[in-house]
Amino acid sequence: MTMSENASDTEHELKQLEAELSQVESSLEVTRRLSNGRVFFQSIQSTLGSIRSRFNSRVLQEEETTNDAEDMDALVDNGLSVSRDFSERLSTAELAHSARIPLGHLRGSLLTNGNPELQMRRRSFRSTSVTEESKRDVEEERGDVVSANTTAVNNDRRRLMGRSRGRSSLFASRTRAEQMEGEQLDMHLNESFVNMSVLPMAPDTNKEDCSSSANTSITNEQDSISSSSSSSSNKEHSNTETPILLTRSLHKRSSLSRGSILSGSIHDIEVAETNHAIVYSWGTGIQSLHDDSCDKTVEESRLNLDSRIGKPGAPAILSVATSCTHTACATSTGTVLTCGLNEEGAVDPHRKTDVRIERPTLLESIGPNRIVQVSCGLNHTAGLSANGSVLTWGNNQYGQLGHRRPFSTVESEEVPVKFIPPKGMSLGGGRRAAAVACGHNFTLVLTTRMSVLACGINSIAGYNNEEKGPAMPSPLPALEGLPLVSIAAGDSHAVVVTAHGTAFAWGNNQSGCCGRPYPTTLLLPVPVRVPETTFESLGSKRPFPNWGTWKNNGSACDAVSLAEDVAVVHAACGREHTVLVTQSGRLLVCGANHDWQLGLDMEANSRVSPLEPVEHPNSTSGGSFITAEAGDEHTLLLDNKGCAWQMGNGKPLKCVLTDTKAILTIAAGGKQSIAVAPGSKGATKRKFSVSSDRITIDESQNMAQTVEDLIEHVIREEKHIEDLGMNDSNMCPSGQELANRTEELLMYPAVINSVFLNSSELNDIHQKMVSVTNLKVRKAIATAVERGMKMGLEQMRPSSARMIYPEAVRCLLLYIQFFDRDDNDSLVFDGSGDLIKALCDTILNLPFEGYKAFLTWATTMYPHDLFVRMLVRPLLNQLNKALTVVKGADGVEHNRRSRQAAPMLVAVLKWLYNAAELSKGNSVQIAKPEDFYSVGVSNLSLEALYTDFETMQKANELQRSSHFFFCANPFLLLPETKRNLLQIVNKVKMYKVATENVTYNEEEKQYEIDPYFILEIERDDLLDQALEKVKHTDSSQLRKELKVVFKGEQGIDAGGVTKEFFQLLSEELFDVHSGLWTTRYGDHVTWFNSDCTWEKDEVYELVGVLVGLALYNCVLLDVHFPIALYRKLLGMPLGLEDMVDEELKKGLQQLLDYPHDDVEYVFCLNFEVTVLELGQEQKIELKEGGSDIPVTNDNKEEYVLLYVKWLLVDSVQPQWDAFENGIMRVMEASSLDLFRPEELQLLVVGSPNLDFAALERNTKYEGGYDKESNVVRCFWRFVNETTPTQEQTQVQLLKFATGSKMAPIGGLGNLPFKIQRAGPDSSQLPTSHTCFNTLLLPDYGDDYEKLKDRLGRAILECEGFGLQ
C-alpha cells in the first residue's frame, strides 16, 4: 500500500471516529444526575473505550508502516497531525467523563459555540524575561503602545496518548461479583475519588505561619477603607460570624475535642526594640528589597544594617510577597512596605509619576488597617487585615481587585482601571478572609469558613463572569463543601489544598502545570492526580486511592488517612510550574522544567505531567521540605532544619542558605527570592492584638472553648444544680454558647467535613449532647441544629455545586446523626419534616460519583454498631415518626406533615440497605437485614399495605418508576408483617377463585359457591393419594382454600388437620429413600436427585404443587431445602456461597484464595467433574474440550463459575423446571417477591429457635385460668424443666399444641397461644385445638407429678382427630 493510500485510509477512519466522538461530546456538555447516572456512565465509558482502542491501534499501525523520515513527513502532511488533534479531543472527553465535568468547562473553544452566555475571553501571556521588557510585553497584549522587544517561547507541546482499557474479569463468587459492581469505577475513581488525609501541617519548627491563621473581627462589605470605618477593627462585633478555620497548630487533629477548632484569633506578635530580623534578598534588584536596582547573588543577599528593612529597630517582617514587577511586605506593626515597578499603581497608587520605586516605602493609604499578610500579582497587590477584610490596589482591568463596579455619570467617560487606591474587597455575606493569593490578573481569597472566593480573569474566576469590567469575588461551586486550608496562585493557574491533603488545580495548563497532560485550559478546579503511595498499608480499609492506614518508618498509625507521601500540605505556583509539598516532606512537581525549576534533569524532563516526586537530598538522614515558593522559572524551598534550598534559573536543586539562624519565612517571584530569619534574641511577635467577636467566656468560670468541653461543662452545671436542690429551668451561659457553636459547626459543610474523620468521635459528642437534661438548653440545641443544618444544606443543593468528591459529601453522613433524637410533648425536633426532607433530597440528587463516595464512606468508616446507630437508626426514627398518626383537638386522626418525606427517607435507607448487603462478603457485615425493619411501616394497617401491594402489582414499569410504593421496599417490613400481608393476598385470591363459578340453585332459590379445595385421603396411604389428587386437579381449584379430611376421622379442619397433614406428608415426601432426593450431601440437606428414575417431570411438578399448597395456605413443612433453592425460586443470582456441598464449597474457596501461580501443579484439576450416575462413575466436561484444559491461576474463577453452574443449575435443570412449575401453579412469583431467601425459608419451614420464655410472655389464659393459677405454674415448670430430653419434650409439646415442631416466622413470641381450662381435676389427658393453637388443660391444681404424667403421655401418644 502506498503512503498516499495509507494516509487516505487514516483520514477515512479518523472521520468515522470523529463522528462517534462528536456524539459523545454532545452528551458530555451537561452534568448528569443520579436518576440515570449508572446507565449513562456505563454507556459513555463503553463508547470512549471503543474509540480509544481503535484509535490507538490505528496509530500503532501507522508507526509500524512508516520506515523513514520522508515517509513520516508525508504522513504528517496527510493526516497524522490531525490524529494528534483528535487524540487531545479524545483525552479531554475522557477527563470530562471520568471527573464529571461538563465538557464546555474544559475546552475553551467549545464555549464560543452555541450559548452566548458561555462565551469567554481567552488570554495567554507569553513567557518573558523578568525585566522591564516583561512589563511592556503584558501591556502590549492589553493594547498599550510599547516597544516590540519581546522574548518568544516555544509553545509546542507533546500530545499524550490515552491508555487502552483492560478486559473485564469473570467471578465465580456471588460476593465477589456484587463487590465488583462497586469496583468497576476504579479507573474513574482515581479522577474523582481523590486522596485524603488528616489535616496537613508543616513539621514543628517552633515557628508560626500567621498568614494561614484565621482572623476574628471583620466589618461588613466595604467599598473603601477610611479611618472612620476601620478604627474600630480591634473591637468586638457581635453582628458578625465567628471564624472557623483549622490552623497549623492542629496538625493531625480531626476532632473538636482535640483543639480549638472554632478559635480564629491571630496570635499576638511583638518585637523588642533591640531585636531585628535578618533579611536575605537576591535576584532582580528593583523588584526586590535591596534598596537599589542592582541584581544580587545569594552570597551578597543579606541586607545591610543601613537598609530600610535591615536596619536595627525596623519592624519585623510578618509576611512578604513578590512578583515579576514588585514586592510587598507586612510588618509586625501592621504596616505595609512596597517597592518595584509602579506603572499601574501596584506599589503605591498615589505616586502615579513614580514609575520605579527602588526602596521599600511605607504605603500610607491603607490608613489604620492592620495588615498581616500580603500577596503580589502582576500589576496589583492585596493585603489581609487583622479584622479579616482584604484590601486591594493597583490595576483592576480584569476585576482582579474585587471592588464594586464604579458607575460613571457620563456615558462616554471610561471607568478607570489603573492606580486604584486601597479599597476593601466586597467579600459579601459577612465573610472574613484567612489568606489571600494573587496571580497575574486574578485574586483568590481563602475564608475563615474554609471556602475560596475568586475574581479576575475568566479562566480562574469562572465561566459565568462578565466578559468586561470588574467582577465581585464569588465562590467556586466546584469546590463547594471541600474543607480548603491553603491557596496558591501562579501566572494564570491556581491550586487549592484541602484539610485532608488533596490538591485541586485549574487555569492555563499548556505546560501541564495543573498535573495533567490535557486539556490546555481547565476552567473548573479538578483533583491533581498524585502517584501511588509507597507506604505499606496496615489494614483492609482502603476506601479511596491512597487512603487507608499506613506504616511509616517503623511506626504504625491506626487512624485512616491519606498516605503522608502523597498528602499535600503546601502548594506553590510559578509561571508555568507547580510544586506541592507533602506531609512526609517530599515534593510532587509538574509543569515546565526548561530551567530546572522542578529539580529534575531539564534535558530529559523539559515538561513534566503528571506529577513526579522529588526527595530531599538528605531524606535518609531525616531531611524534609516543609514549604515552597515559586518564581517565574525557579523554586525556593524551606526544610525542617531551617535551611533554604533553590532550584531553577538554569541550576539544579541546591542549598543556598545554611550558615544562618533558622529561616522563618520565604518568598519567591519573578527572578528574585527573599528569606527572613529571626534576630539573635527570641522569635518575632506582633505588637497589636485582635479581640474575638464571639460571646466572651470568663476563663475564671472554667468554661471550655470546644463543643465537647462545652457539653461536659453544661452537664457539670446541671449536676451541681441538682446537688444543691435548685431549679435548673433557666438557660446557663455555657448552654447558649454550646447552641451557638453547634449552629456554626453545622452551617458550613466545609468546616464539618474537616473534622470527625473518626465516626466514633461524633457519636460520643452527640450522645453527650442529647444527655443534657436542662429543657431550655435542649430546645436551644435543637433549634441551633435545625438552623445550622438548613443553611448548610442550602449551600450544597444548587445544581452548580458538583458534589462528586468524597471530602465534600461526607458531611451528609454526619448530618444524619443529628436526627437520632426522640420527641416529646415539650421538645419537637423538625416537626414539619422539612429538614429531613431537604437532607434526603440533597443525598438523592448527588451525581453518580457523589453517590458512590457517599456509600464508600458509609461502608468503610463506620463499624457495624455505628453504621446502625449513626446512619440507619436516625433515618428509621424519622420514618417511624413521619408515619405516626396524630389526633387533633377534635379527636380526628391526621397524618403528620412530615409524612411527605417518607418516600425520600425510604430511598436513602434503600441505598444503605443495598450497601450493607454488598458487605456480606467481608469479614464483618456492617448491618443485618433485621437492622432495617421499620416499626412504622410494619404497623401500617394491613388494608393499607394490601392496597399498596395491589396497586403496585397492577402498575406498569413507567408507573412504578414515577410512584412510591411501600411494598416495593419490603426490606422495611417485619417478616411477620410480610406473612400477614401474604395471607391477605392469598385470602383475596381464594375468594376471587371461589366466586368465579357461582351457580344458582333453583330449588333453594339461592346462589351457591364452592369455596374449598377438599383433599380427602386415608392416613395410611397419604402420599400416593395426595399426589394422585393434585395430579387431576385444575390450577384454579388449587387456589381455593385447602380443607383436608382424613377418612374415618371426625375432625373438622379449621386449620389443625391441614397442619398435621403437611407434617405427615413431609415425613414421606422428603424421605431420601423415596429416590426424589439425593443422599450425596447428608441427611440434613434436601436436594434434587439427578439420578431419579421416576417420571421425574411429572412427579417433581406434583411435589412442587404440594409445596405451593403449603405456602399458599401458610402451613409449615418439615423439609431441609438449602438456601440455594429459595434464591432460585426468587430469581436471585447464585454463587459459591450457595453451594449445597460444604466440603466442596470449602475446597473451591481455597482454590480461589490460593495466591501463587502454580495452581495447575498444586490442584491438578481439569475443566471436568466426576459424578456417580446409577452407580457408574462418569466424567462430565464443564466446557467443550474441558478434559484437556487444565485449571490455572488465570482461569480458576471460570472453573469455579462453571462448577457452581453445573451443580446448582445444569445437573438438576429438568427436576427444577418441573418443581418450579408446580409451585407456580398455586403461587404467583410476584407474591413471593416480598421475601428475602432467608425469610422465605422461615415461611416454609419455620424457625428452629424455640424461645419458650417469649411464648410464656405471649400466652393468654381462658376458662378461669391466669398466670398465677397453680396448674399454670406447674405447666411452665414442666416446660422449662432441665432434663436430658427436655429439648425433645419441648418440640413434641409444640407439635401437640400447635401442629408444628417449628416456630412460625417471627418466633414463638408471635404465636397466638392459649391455655384453656378443661374442667376440674380428673384423670383425663390434656387435649388441644391445633387449629387455634389452644391447649385444653384440666385443673390438676398444684399436683406437679400428675400434670407431668398426664401431659407427657398426651404429647407422646396422641395422634389424630376426633378419636374416642
Residues serving a catalytic function are 1331
Residue 296: φ, ψ to 5°: -130, 150
Which cell numbers in the block locate residue 8? Answer: 487516505
Which cell numbers in the block locate residue 1116? Answer: 409449615
Tell me the three-class secondary structure of 1163-1177, residue by residue.
Answer: HCCECEEEEEECCEE
Per residue in 340-377, is it b (16+ CB within 10 Å) or e — as a string? Answer: bbbbbbbbbbeeeeeeebbebbebebbebbbbbbbbbb
Q: Which long-range contacts (CB under 8 A, 24 or more apart) does 21-29 make?
A: 21/51, 21/86, 21/89, 21/90, 21/93, 23/47, 24/48, 24/51, 24/93, 24/97, 25/89, 25/93, 25/103, 25/110, 28/93, 28/96, 28/97, 28/102, 28/103, 29/102, 29/103, 29/104, 29/110
In sequence order, what are the residues at sequence separation of 6 or more whose Cβ sits closer than 8 angstroms to the Cβ of residue 698? none
- Give 859-915 as a DSSP string: HHSS-HHHIIIIIIHHHHHHHHHHT-EEE-TTS-EEE-GGGGGHHHHHHHHHHHHHH
Q: Give the N- to C-terminal CA distance of the chain in Å, as an integer.
A: 104
Which cell numbers in the block locate residue 366? Answer: 491603607
- Give 1138-1172 as a DSSP string: G-S-HHHHHHHHHHHH--SS-HHHHH--BSEEEEE
Type of residue at 270: E
Which cell numbers in the block locate residue 821? Answer: 433524637
Type of residue at 33: R
Which cell numbers in the block locate residue 1091? Answer: 439420578
Contact 202, 209 (CB under 8 A): yes
DSSP H stretches of helix in 681-748: 707-724, 733-746
- Among 1119, 1047, 1121, 1114, residue whose Cα is nearest residue 1298: 1114
CA dist 1080 to 155, 166, 521, 1137, Å?
Answer: 75, 41, 67, 18
Report the SS3 class of residue 547. strand
Cα–Cα distance for residue pair 974/994, rounded to 1 Å: 30
Residue 341: φ, ψ to 5°: -80, 130
Does an H or E element contain 1222, and which?
helix 1213-1226
Q: What is the CA radius of gyration of the chain?
A: 39
Residue 728: φ, ψ to 5°: -105, 30
Tell me the three-class secondary structure of 1084-1130, residue by residue.
Answer: CCCCECCCCCCCHHHHHHHHHHHHHHHHHCCCCCCCCCCHHHHHHHC
Go through the chain and tell me how many residues it has: 1364
Cα–Cα distance for residue pair 900/555, rounded to 1 Å: 52
Which cell numbers in the block locate residue 561? Answer: 488517612
Task: Read off the DSSP letter of residue 619.
Answer: G
HSE value, Cβ hemisphere, 13 Å, CA-based, for 397 = 19
Residue 1237: φ, ψ to 5°: -55, -40
Residue 673's Cβ-count burial label (10 Å; 0-12, 13-18, 19+) is buried
Helix axes 942-954, 975-994, angle to 10 degrees: 70
Cα–Cα distance for residue pair 262/448, rounded to 1 Å: 10
In sequence order, what are the residues at sequence separation of 6 or more whose Cβ sits closer than 8 angstroms to the Cβ of residue 472? 399, 402, 404, 426, 428, 455
